[in-house]
Amino acid sequence: MTKDFHQHVIFILMLPLAAALIYQRFEPISAFGVPAILLMYYAYNTENGPIAAIAGIALIPLYLVYTYLILIIPDGIPAFLLLFDPVNNLIYLIGTAPYSAMNGLIGYLTATRKPAYLMIAAILFGICLLYLSFIYPMFIEWLVATRG
C-alpha cells in the first residue's frame, strides 16, 4: 500500500465525519456545503477523479452512520440503534441519492481541472445547495405525512 492510498482512504472516511460534526451545530446546508467545498478542493489538488467521485458518493451513506453514532435522540435513546432500521435507512438513502450522485460528479469534474468542467462543477454545486434547501425538506415533509 502506498502513502497516497492511505491519504485517499483517510479523506473518504473523514469527509462525512466533518459533515456529521457540522450538522450537530448548523443547518444541513452548512453540513453538506462545507464538505462539498472540501471535496472540490481535494479533487482539484490531487487530480484524482475516481477517488474524488467515490468520496462524493460515499459522503451521504457514511454521514448517516457517523450521525447515528454521534447523535443521542432526545428520549435518551442512542441513535445508533436506528442503524438497524432498514426502512428508514432506505428511505433516507433514496431521498439523498441525487445529492450523492451530484457530489460524485462534482468531485470527478473538478479533478479534471478543465475550465469548462470546473464551471459545470460549480453549477452542480449550486444545484446541490438548492436541492438541500428546497427539494429535500419537501421530500421529508411528504414522507412524514404519508407515514403517519
Residue ranges of the domains in the chain? Answer: 3-147
pLDDT at position 122, please?
A: 92
- More confident site: 86 or 100: 100
Greater model confidence, 2 or 63:
63
Classify the C-alpha dihedral 100-101-106-109 as positive or negative: positive
pLDDT band per the 50, 70, 90 thresholds, residue 25: confident
CA-to-CA distance for 16 and 59, rounded, in angstroms?
5
pLDDT level of residue 35 (50, 70, 90 thresholds): confident
- Quick: pLDDT tens for 62-88: 887 777 777 655 566 666 666 666 777
Confidence of residue 109 (pLDDT cuts 50, 70, 90): very high
Whole-structure pTM value: 0.77
